[in-house]
Structure 1
Amino acid sequence: MTPKQKRGTASHKDVVEQDDRLQAVVLTDSFETRFMPLSAVKPRCLLPLANIPLIEYTLEFLAKADVKEVYLVCSSHADQINEYIENSKWNLPWSPFKVSTIISPESRSVGDVMRDIDNRGVINGDFVLISGDVISNVQFDKMLDFHKKTHAKDKDHILTMCLSKAIQHYKTRSIEPATFILDKSNSRCIYYENIDKPHSKIKSALSIDPELLEDVKEFSLRNDLIDCRIDICSAQVPPLFQDNFDYQTLREDFVKGVVSSDLLKKGVYAYITDEYGSRVDSWQAYDEISQDFLGRWVYPVVLEANPLEENTYSYESPHIYKEKDVVLAESCKIGKCTAIGSGTKIGEGTFIQDCVIGKNCSIGKNIKISNSYIWDNTVIGDHSVITHSIVASDVELGSKVILNDGCVIGFDVKIDSGMILPQGSRISSSPIETDVPSVFEESLSADSNSSGEEKASFAVNKKNRDIIAIELVGPNGIGYVYESDYSDDDDDSSISNHVSNTLVHHVEELYLSDDSIRSTSARTKKKRTMSSGSMYTDREDYETEFEDEEDFEKEGIATVERAIENNHDLDTAMLELNTLRMSMNVTYHEVRTVTIKSILRRINHFIFTQTLGAKEAVSKVFSQWSALFKRQCFDPEDYIDLINIVMEEIMKIDFDKPNLILFASLNSLYENDILEESSIYSWWDTISEDPSYSNVVSLTSKWVEWLKTADEESSEEDDDE
């Protein structure tokens, strides 16, 4: 249910009481695709970590923080989240807080959520802003006390960030590296900057305006802090997002923009703690935080606390957690840092270590499972080997199946006996073609009347992927290969992007000194203990993996397609694109490319669905959106580059009449005053004799000739006059 804004008058006492009720806004959507293909079926916040949905850790944290009102902002899979909350203990009369679900389907970023929150008017005072995938044992009352004392000294203070010191045992330090420059006297944030991830092999450097350091006697540059993504915000924060539409992310846009602004003059402060706090925002983070949790780094947040009523976990050394009704064969061996859910049966000779096994799983004989996560209701056949992988719920693996490092097996997948899956394989039970769906794909998924033939005909390289899937899951298996957009890129940086968000070990990619603003130090193990109340940990060394870097093409296409689909005004679309360009430091050529790709996809959608004819589709889309190029082209070379991009992208798409599409596109750009004759003639002189373009420029050649003839006739008429 969506909370309604209270209207009418109230006494001063009522207002004070309402303001004293601490509120929280929970971001249930990550606005990312890092957990595909699993997040295509279930939202990230409902995925299990140690057999408990991620959202439970966040809500338990808020309950201990004495929050009284919680707003869950839902975008993707909102119906599943709403249903989960309605059937949970948080919806009962004795819940420690009132929880409300805000459905925000149009939100595509944290900035969109903040603007939606501001429009609804639900925030009455200071509030906690937190992600729905945070695991933390931070004592919130100390952070709140710091926030209040800081605000009493600085009336312009609007936000307090929770940052955790990254000691050498915390591998989560490498998950999302950033640099904070803080005033030593009061921990005010002077500057913020994301830094390059280790696999980029780039040494980071900061460029800061000296004016920001004025009136600062002494500052510290901190690159050893983990961003817990727990913030206390004043009521001024949502309106600031409203006033600055280009603020999309919380740190890189909002915090960096606020602390660097001479006009806003607002204060952002850092609360630094030794306690544990981190987001499960990548496969690497999922793996590391799961092991931290089992290794009792988050004490007193431990599994045997049984936050769900149906949980019955007990603890025994060395960090083994078992529920009731677990059936273990006499000769099976359960190693350290392992949790096993109720109803699970494990056969003779099976070895399991550093794993989480879900409820009601059937694990056969002589199986080896290490550093892996097996979710509920999974069946694993005899003599199988699973290494550093995730197997989602309701999966069936035959006998002698081998899952190598980094495999992610989606819900309801079935793999035949004897199959060997290579490192980093991702399998889903149904086709998921791209990380960022096109406008047409979104419309098909939304339209329940769309035929299977329509959906199948638009799939990219579906036939090839089916063949690969059969090779991996077997002729009687059920599964499709999931490939993100990175797999289509050829450059080295894209390849490193692709592997950075996996469970795979990549020792050669580690940076072993602080030259890269991080280090991977040798760990000092602490002594094991038999006490279930122990705070001591026992973590094994794992090689570090790294997150995805941002991909401009993917983000840019999503931005333009969203603008087209939602019929945004041109100024808004231009602002979003330009903000993305500056934040990712790309050229205008790349901006022109993603814009053309998005426009051509929309044209192809109209043609494919027989909504419009080819010429009409081109005219409609270009007439509305060609003005974007006025902010992307600045000299004759840019316009020639634009024409080349149009031609090349048309050739990549399987249009029935590419020559007609090219002619209509260039003619539309010409009629909308984007292209001038001189640019068209210059471009034509460079490609007219190239035989590789003969099939696509046949109509365009006649059009160029007509333009030249008309131009000559116009010149003669001017001379006669």
Structure 2
Amino acid sequence: MPPRKGKVANKSANGGKGNEAVQDERLQAIVMTDSFQTRFMPLTSVMPRCLLPLANVPLIEYTLEFLAKAGASEVYLVCASHADQVNEYLENSKWNLPWSPFKVSTIMSLESRSVGDAMRDIDNRGIITGDFILVSGDLVTNMEFDKALEFHRKKKAEDKDHIVTMCLSKATQFFRTRSHEPAAFILDKSNDKCLYYQDIPFASSKKKSSVAIDPELLEDVDEFVIRNDLIDCHVDICSPHVPPIFQENFDYQFLRRDFVKGVLSSDLLKKSIYAYITDDYAARAESWQTYDAISQDFIARWCYPLVLNSNLLEDQTYSYESQHIYKERDVVLAQSCKIGKHTAIGSGSKIGEGTFIENSVIGKNCQIGENIIIKNSYIWDDSVILDNSMIEHSIVASGVKIGRNVTLEDGCVIGFNVTVDDGKTIPNGTRISELPVQKMPSPFLDDGSYTDEEDISDREQKHLIEPATDLVGEGGTGYIYESDYSDIDDEDSILDRVTNTLTYRIENLYFSDDSTSSASTKHRKRRTMSTTSMTTDREAEDGLEEEDEDFEKEAIATVERAMENNHDLDTALLELNTLRMSMNVTYHEVRSATVAALLRRVYHFIATQTLGPKDAVAKVFGQWGMLFKRQAFDADEFVDLMDLILEKVSKQNFEKPEFILFSALNCLYDRDILDEDVIYQWWDGVSQDPELEKVKTLTAKWVEWLKNADEESEEEESDESESDEN
């Protein structure tokens, strides 16, 4: 029986089944607060993932906001790990007040070790009375759920066997949150009925994948489509038949790879699953990379109207300024500190003289000293960072103290209440916890493999953590955390070990640099000011830079859409020119964005093993290099184009950048976009930066070959001329 308003019920006993008469009037929701994974260790050894802050707001708040807007009337939070913390949080939250939009209950499912176990527990309790929403507690979305529910009810009326509607979000190959758990959905093109589901290996795994489907599943299907461009955030609208199916199949542990795949391939169940595909923003903080990506997206207002200055928590007081800067009240900023774009600062925090912060989130009551650099990082509440330290692309949890002259290199995770002594450097990808983490809380590894109790016991013995005195110093406190993959060397585990760290930078995967959505098919609305913003001196100085960055993102997205959807050149040129004129930028910026987009496309083909380097360059530059014909009009501009190609090839992290540069320039030369005189002019003035020497090696030989061929041609013409005169 659901709890009364104003009281969170601790569901330790079976609920009643006496509410079936009103099942159509209520929309229930089941929230999985436990991920049943170890991806956020060692932080999740102290706090459940759903309570970790994203942009200074606990993750569960985003999920509950979504359910409130979706019209849920009853919400059940299934708690396994740290269940007491979840229950306590809810009891003290706005969701437990009499005017809460729904009744909220916690279900203590302490024995559950997977989604399958949790669903079987729910079935045993008998609390489901009708259709319900199944989500995880780490969802961030602005989805218009009414449309999804309407789709579900329509399909249910048409198909009596319909039991689940999966809500999926469109994404291009550049969408960062798509990268963690790629999958292929085979859908009936006429009605979006799901015919088959299959996991896809990561592009970096170097495994070739294929879809093997039983032909019988395609009977009576006129036309089907294979979709691997969808973000699956595990937002499902389920019928009451779903929990009993888990009950009948104890080997179903995972929602997609077991339940969905099993239902679709079963000859006995004969049940239907449909896909509702939306353009709205939807993502799960299911890994360090997606946490990073969603944080940047949320700060950049991609989830509008769900934004930070809507102040989801009752005690928040955020105001919004241009360049996506958010500040709460009682923030103290020194006169000479600089707060860069895409930054949020919580109340009570103090920033010292000469400190620079950009693309970062600072929590409440943080003490940031003088001459500190913080970039692309997340500093949680009550942390202290002393003078002259540098933090790059890292997470610093609550209660941490960082000493003077400390460097946190790319991808560090500093756990709750850790202390780092003065003058220390924490290497790339290091994870440190306050106390030793000695055992794995789940028998499921991050790659989904199951391990028995004996294996767990073995790993517990191997993972007795030693004090990290060498790293944190004599005056520091902390232990190195090594994940459960440290002793496993199979290819999947190595890959997941790499992707489960902030060090695995998104831009190296050929995705957008700042926003996971910048290459989405959904057009971006430029937002630089709002009714709550205030003009500062800094904004006037940085306005031009912001406009250039906005143009670059929009232009790259335009070219990427053209390539992905195979638009004709004239359409792509028209869109680019319209964008150029609307933002009043030069053709140099247009060329720069086009080069970046083309090289990212090349990188994608190579990284996914779709094409080899030579064929990838030929395909992309052969077809889309003609864009430069309308972007460069004299020798100096073509020289600038070649400089841009050299610069961006060197930054794209190709395995053999020298071959990519040579192939790209040679392709443009073969298509008469570049001629010899321009190439020689560029080569005579090309950058002599030592870092570019390797990139230019093959091009140097190519230019020398062109000159020799040119000279031989001139000699032949001279000989022919003399022969004619004689």
The TM-score normalised by the length of structure 1 is 0.67
Answer yes or no: is 1:406 the counterpart of 2:411. Answer: yes
523-532 vs 121-130, which moves further: 523-532
2:107 is matched with which residue? Answer: 102
Is there any run of 5+ residues in structure 2 with no aligned partner, and where? Answer: 1-8, 444-456, 534-546, 554-726
1:307 is matched with which residue? Answer: 312
Change (3 A) 1:520 1:20: closer
1:557 is matched with which residue? Answer: none
Measure, in 1, the Cα distance between the counterparts of 2:506 and 2:178: 16
1:424 is matched with which residue? Answer: 429
Return the match for 2:223 from 218, 221, 236. Answer: 218
1:248 is matched with which residue? Answer: 253
2:175 touches 2:511 (CA, 8 Å); kept in 1? no
2:474 is matched with which residue? Answer: 475
Q: Which amino acid aligns with 1:510?
A: L
Q: Which amino acid aligns with 1:487?
A: S
Measure, in 2, the Cα distance between the counterparts of 1:503 and 1:539: 27
- Measured against aligned partners, the alpha-carbon deviations of 1:290-339 in whole angstroms (never above 9, x if no partner) come to 11111111111101111110000011110011100000111111111111
Measure, in 2, the Cα distance between the counterparts of 1:519 and 1:49: 17
1:124 is matched with which residue? Answer: 129
1:83 is matched with which residue? Answer: 88
Return the match for 2:167 from 156, 162, 171. Answer: 162
2:601 is matched with which residue? Answer: none
Change (3 A) 1:508 1:97: closer
State the Cα distance separating 1:505 from its structure 2 match: 3.6
- Measured against aligned partners, the alpha-carbon deviations of 1:212-266 in whole angstroms (never above 9, x if no partner) come to 1000001111011001211100000000111111111111000111111121110
Answer yes or no: is 1:233 the counterpart of 2:238. Answer: yes
- Measured against aligned partners, the alpha-carbon deviations of 1:378-415 in whole angstroms (never above 9, x if no partner) come to 00010100000000000000011000000000000000
State the Cα distance separating 1:197 from its structure 2 match: 1.1
Change (3 A) 1:71 1:527: closer
Answer yes or no: is 1:175 the counterpart of 2:183. Answer: no
Answer yes or no: is 1:318 the counterpart of 2:323. Answer: yes
Answer yes or no: is 1:23 the counterpart of 2:31. Answer: no
2:484 is matched with which residue? Answer: 485
1:538-553 equivalent positions in 2, closer than 5 A: none
2:175 touches 2:519 (CA, 8 Å); kept in 1? no
Measure, in 1, the Cα distance between the counterparts of 2:268 and 2:380: 51
1:295 touches 1:539 (CA, 8 Å); kept in 2? no
State the Cα distance separating 1:493 from its structure 2 match: 5.3
Change (3 A) 1:532 1:174: farther
Q: Which amino acid aligns with 2:80?
A: S
Measure, in 2, the Cα distance between the counterparts of 1:331 and 1:351: 9
State the Cα distance separating 1:5 from its structure 2 match: 5.2
1:229 touches 1:278 (CA, 8 Å); kept in 2? no
1:682 is matched with which residue? Answer: none
1:45-444 equivalent positions in 2, closer than 5 A: 45-167=50-172, 170-435=175-440
Measure, in 2, the Cα distance between the counterparts of 1:20 and 1:496: 46
1:259 touches 1:267 (CA, 8 Å); kept in 2? yes
Change (3 A) 1:188 1:129: same
1:198 touches 1:510 (CA, 8 Å); kept in 2? no
State the Cα distance separating 1:529 from its structure 2 match: 2.3
Q: Which amino acid aligns with 1:143?
A: A
Change (3 A) 1:6 1:148: same
Change (3 A) 1:6 1:118: closer
State the Cα distance separating 1:374 from its structure 2 match: 0.3
1:74 touches 1:105 (CA, 8 Å); kept in 2? yes
Change (3 A) 1:50 1:539: farther
Measure, in 2, the Cα distance between the counterparts of 1:485 and 1:539: 43
Measure, in 2, the Cα distance between the counterparts of 1:339 and 1:520: 20
State the Cα distance separating 1:199 from its structure 2 match: 2.2
SS in 1 for 2:275: strand
Q: Which amino acid aligns with 1:175?
A: H
1:4-23 equivalent positions in 2, closer than 5 A: 7=16, 15-23=20-28
1:628 is matched with which residue? Answer: none
1:372 touches 1:388 (CA, 8 Å); kept in 2? yes
1:187 touches 1:269 (CA, 8 Å); kept in 2? yes
State the Cα distance separating 1:176 from its structure 2 match: 1.6
2:400 touches 2:419 (CA, 8 Å); kept in 1? yes
Change (3 A) 1:506 1:49: closer
State the Cα distance separating 1:30 from its structure 2 match: 0.3
SS in 1 for 2:111: coil
Measure, in 2, the Cα distance between the counterparts of 1:135 and 1:46: 13
- Measured against aligned partners, the alpha-carbon deviations of 1:25-57 in whole angstroms (never above 9, x if no partner) come to 000000000000000000000000000100010
Measure, in 2, the Cα distance between the counterparts of 1:479 and 1:121: 45
Measure, in 2, the Cα distance between the counterparts of 1:267 and 1:366: 60
399-408 vs 501-510, which moves further: 501-510
1:705 is matched with which residue? Answer: none
State the Cα distance separating 1:15 from its structure 2 match: 4.2
SS in 2 for 1:405: coil
Measure, in 2, the Cα distance between the counterparts of 1:287 and 1:126: 33
State the Cα distance separating 1:525 from its structure 2 match: 8.3
- Measured against aligned partners, the alpha-carbon deviations of 1:67-97 in whole angstroms (never above 9, x if no partner) come to 1101111000000000001111111111111
C-alpha RMSD of matched pairs (Å): 2.8
1:503 is matched with which residue? Answer: 502
1:42 is matched with which residue? Answer: 47
1:433 touches 1:483 (CA, 8 Å); kept in 2? no
Return the match for 1:2 from 10, 32, 41. Answer: 10
SS in 1 for 2:186: strand
Measure, in 2, the Cα distance between the counterparts of 1:110 and 1:163: 19
Q: Which amino acid aligns with 1:474?
A: G
1:367 touches 1:383 (CA, 8 Å); kept in 2? yes
SS in 2 for 1:221: strand
2:171 touches 2:520 (CA, 8 Å); kept in 1? no
Measure, in 1, the Cα distance between the counterparts of 2:208 and 2:419: 44
State the Cα distance separating 1:170 from its structure 2 match: 2.6
State the Cα distance separating 1:63 from its structure 2 match: 0.6
- Measured against aligned partners, the alpha-carbon deviations of 1:616-641 in whole angstroms (never above 9, x if no partner) come to xxxxxxxxxxxxxxxxxxxxxxxxxx
Measure, in 1, the Cα distance between the counterparts of 2:210 and 2:287: 25
Change (3 A) 1:321 1:152: same
Change (3 A) 1:33 1:151: same
1:434 touches 1:484 (CA, 8 Å); kept in 2? no
- Measured against aligned partners, the alpha-carbon deviations of 1:445-489 in whole angstroms (never above 9, x if no partner) come to xxxxxxxxxx9xx864758x32xx111000110000001122223
SS in 2 for 1:486: coil
2:329 touches 2:347 (CA, 8 Å); kept in 1? yes
1:50 touches 1:339 (CA, 8 Å); kept in 2? yes
State the Cα distance separating 1:538 from its structure 2 match: 5.9
427-436 vs 233-242, which moves further: 427-436
Measure, in 2, the Cα distance between the counterparts of 1:242 and 1:217: 34
Identity of aligned residues (%): 65
Is there any run of 5+ residues in structure 1 with no aligned partner, and where? Answer: 439-454, 542-721
